[in-house]
Structure 1
Amino acid sequence: MVSSFVTLHKMSYDTEHVRNAGDTPGTITGIPTFAELLENPSLADLYTSIRQAETATGPELVETTTVSKKTVYDYLHKLEQAGLISKVGDETGTAVYTAQEFELTLTVRETEVSITPKIIEVIAQKNEYPAIERVLEDYGIVTFALAYDLVNAHSEGEVTIRQIASLTDLSPGTTYDLVEALYSVLDLGDDDSTPTTYTPDEFDAEGGDLLEEYADK
């Protein structure tokens, strides 16, 4: 069997690795659409809107999205063909859609990262957060997914901002900006919680392999 690949931010992945989550996962067939979902915030927002609402119709989405009616229906067709949404009924002749859960597992420097709908929810807001857009554009989805996991770990006190910078190869400033953005988008920490500030000296190299340390957790 010949595998189908799509290049995205200098990486390739096999369609066999992109599957719907659940007890009986099925392979997502629309890899170009999946790739667009990672880059197009409007498409990501439409998918996220359906997922958050649990079910949605075309007319409902037209009312709540910023894209044109034609684009909404083009996106619905594209997502359905890709297996990312499915029809679950109809209301007076109007199709009702639900979002499919999925997980794409990638390995970066011996550490696994997963692309899930929660990351798509963040990508949907990238135009509002320059740090998110900058990391996605300059470093790609793999680095962004790793940073996403690390920021969640940071909110639990498991890693420091210095470690996130070291593990992702992001600059200290970009790391802090991204942590701050993800704290806002994901509503991490307490109401008064913000990422710990840093000074350049705090980013001196640490002993030991931080990536291995994180992977062990």
Structure 2
Amino acid sequence: MAFSFVTIYKMSYDTEHVRNAGDTPRTITGISTFAELLENPSLARLYTSIRRSATSTGPELVETTTVSKKTVYDYLHKLEQAGLISKVDDDGGTAVYTAEEFELTLTVRETEVSITPELIEVIAQKNEYPAIERVLEDYGIVTYALTYDLVKAHSERNVTIRQIASLTGLSPGAAYDLVEALYSILELGDDESPPTTYSPDDFDEDEGDLLREFADK
């Protein structure tokens, strides 16, 4: 696919590609709930908590979350209606929930990115990492999701921060701050190896080839 790095705020959701990723894939409904996952870290944290625990009940989530009991049950209902969680058991009259895996394809003017549970887990922490919130607010989810993928390539030393900035349209400073935040959340590298920076003349010869490589994906 060809990438356009203009900041775009209007999204079209390709509902044909919003599918349960389990053993029996089915179309997931409730696109508005997906949109809220990207905007509401409390909802994202609740979904992530269920996913990390394999199974959870309402009372367990009330004990561990910072939102009210009513909000927890409102969120559970919303997530269940959207197909993002399912009831798998009934423990003495208490519903037991499990999280569904999913992949949501966002298409914005021929730019296509995937929203996955892993990405939602990071967005759930945006209040603790100003760089994440800033990029989401100033550049939008498409740029953020693309940067997320490139950070993984950076951890494998396949791209530099300068190249991430060029590919996404972020300023070098914003790119560095976001890489640093994602390194911390995703536990990439090690404590003695922070994200690699660059000098102005680094990788100029190869950068054009790299940009073409990502544009062809």
**Do these two structures clear the TM 0.5 threshold for a shared fold by scoring above it?**
yes
Tell me if 1:127 matches 2:132: no
Q: Partner residue of 1:88?
A: 88
Q: Partner residue of 1:26?
A: 26
Q: Partner residue of 1:149?
A: 149
| Residue correspondence of structure 1 range 1-217 to structure 2 within 5 A | 9-106=9-106, 112-199=112-199, 208=208, 210-214=210-214
Tell me the amino acid that sits aligned with residue 38 of structure 1: L
Judge conservation of contact 1:29–1:83 (CA < 8 Å) in 2: yes
Tell me the amino acid that sits aligned with residue 61 of structure 2: L
Deviation string 1:96-130 (CA, Å, 9 cap, x unpaired) is 00000001234568665321000000000000000
Which segments of 5 or more consecutive residues in structure 1 lack a partner in the other structure? Answer: 1-7
Tell me the amino acid that sits aligned with residue 172 of structure 2: P
Judge conservation of contact 2:160–2:197 (CA < 8 Å) in 1: no
Q: TM-score normalized by structure 2?
A: 0.89
Judge conservation of contact 1:20–1:102 (CA < 8 Å) in 2: yes
SS in 2 for 1:195: coil
SS in 1 for 2:114: strand
Deviation string 1:13-66 (CA, Å, 9 cap, x unpaired) is 132221111343111110011110111000000000000000000000000000
Judge conservation of contact 1:111–1:211 (CA < 8 Å) in 2: no
Greater RCO (Cα-Cα under 8 Å, separation 6 or more): 2
SS in 2 for 1:38: helix
Tell me the amino acid that sits aligned with residue 97 of structure 2: Y
Structure 1 CA distance for aligned equivalents of residues 108 and 114 of structure 2: 10
Judge conservation of contact 1:55–1:99 (CA < 8 Å) in 2: yes
Relative to structure 1, is the Cα distance of residues 176 and 142 closer, same or farther in structure 2, using a 3 angstrom cutoff?
A: same
Deviation string 1:183-207 (CA, Å, 9 cap, x unpaired) is 0000001232211134566697975
**Greater Cα offset, 187-196 or 156-165:** 187-196
User: How many residue pairs are counted as aligned between the two chains?
Assistant: 210
Structure 1 CA distance for aligned equivalents of residues 59 and 24 of structure 2: 31
Tell me the amino acid that sits aligned with residue 165 of structure 1: A
Structure 2 CA distance for aligned equivalents of residues 151 and 61 of structure 1: 31
Tell me the amino acid that sits aligned with residue 48 of structure 1: T
**Greater Cα offset, 8-17 or 184-193:** 8-17
Q: Partner residue of 1:3?
A: none
Judge conservation of contact 1:21–1:102 (CA < 8 Å) in 2: yes
Which segments of 5 or more consecutive residues in structure 2 lack a partner in the other structure? Answer: 1-7
Q: Percent identity?
A: 84
The offset of 1:148, in angstroms, is: 0.2
Structure 1 CA distance for aligned equivalents of residues 40 and 9 of structure 2: 14
